[in-house]
Structure 1
C-alpha cells in the first residue's frame, strides 16, 4: 500500500495564497506609466473635438448669411436669430454675428465664444468666401485643419 503525504496539499495552498509586494509594485508602476501617456492624449482629443463641435454649431449660420446677402440686406446689425443660430448653446455660451468693414470691404463675422479662452470665428468675404479662425485655450494647434490657428482680429 501507498502512504499519502498529507502535508503536500497544504503547502501548495500556502504558496499560492496571493501576490508578492514586488509583483504589486511592478503592476502599479506599469499602470502609472500608461496613465501618464494616455491622459494628456485623451485631453488633447477631447479639446480638438470640442473646438470642432463649436465650428459645426456656427456652420449652420452660413446659409442664413448667404440668404440675407442674396436678398440685398443693407442693415447695420444682424442678430444670431436672423441667420438661424441660437444666441447661446452649451458649447457656445455667447454667439455673435457682426457686420465688419475691414480691408475696404464689408465682411460678416460669426463668432462662438466658448468656455475658457476657446473662440471660433467664421468670416465671410465677398472676395474670398468663407474662412475660419480659431483659438483653443493656449494650444492653437487644437483648431480643426480647415481653421487657421492664429491671433483673432477683434474689430
Structure 2
C-alpha cells in the first residue's frame, strides 16, 4: 500500500469526541430555546384571547344601542375557542330561544363585562394559574382590558387584574 491510500483510510468520518461536542451544543441550545418558545406561545395566546373577547364589544354595544340588556336579551355571538371558556356573558345562545327582551332605558350608562378563562388547548402556564381575561365597560362607555395572566405574558393594552401580578389596568380602546 502506498502512503496516499493510508491517508484516505484515516479521514473517513468524525471522531467520538467531535460527535459528543455537537450533541452537547445542541443540548445547550435546546435548554435555552424551549422555555423561550413556551413563553412565546403563552404570550401569543393571551394576545389572541384579548382579540377574541374584544371582538364581542361591538355586539355588546349594539345590544345596548338597541335598548337591550346585553347579558339577558342578546346573543353576542360568543362561540367556543380552543383556548377560552367564556364566563360573562355566557356562551352563545344561538339555536336556543332567547329570553324575552329586557328593555334597557339607560343604555348609555350601562356597565358590563366580557370575561373568559383560559382552558382547553391553552398553554399549561395559563390554565394552571386559572388565568382570565376581562373587558369591563364603564358607565361612560369606555372599555378596559385586564388579565390575571403573569406580567411576562400580558399584551400591551391589557393591564393586571386584581391578583394578576401587579401593575395597573390600562384603557384599551372603546
Aligning the two structures, in what range does the TM-score lie when normalised by the shorter sequence?
0.7 to 0.9
> Structure 1: which 4+ aligned runs deviate by more than 4 Å?
none
Distance 1:36 1:127 in 2: 49
1:51-66 to structure 2, matched below 5 A, reads 51-66=46-61
Of 99, 119, 125, 2:132 maps to 119
State the partner residue of 1:40: 35
Structure 1 gaps of 5+ residues are 1-5, 99-104
State the partner residue of 2:16: 21
TM normalised by structure 1 equals 0.76
Distance 1:48 1:91 in 2: 13
- 1:126: how far off? 2.2
Identify if the C-alpha distance between structure 1 residues 59 and 7 changes in structure 2 by more than 3 Å, giving closer, same or farther: same
Structure 2 gaps of 5+ residues are 91-108, 120-126, 165-174
Please tell me the root mean square deviation across aligned C-alpha atoms, in Å.
2.4
Which shows bigger deviation, 65-74 or 53-62?
65-74
TM normalised by structure 2 equals 0.68
State the partner residue of 2:68: 73
**What is the aligned length?**
137
Name the larger-Rg structure: 1
User: Which structure ranks higher in relative contact order (CA pairs < 8 Å, sequence separation ≥ 6)?
Assistant: 2
Conserved in 2, the CA contact under 8 Å of 1:140 and 1:150?
no
Of 159, 164, 168, 1:148 maps to 159
Conserved in 1, the CA contact under 8 Å of 2:63 and 2:69?
no
Conserved in 2, the CA contact under 8 Å of 1:121 and 1:132?
yes
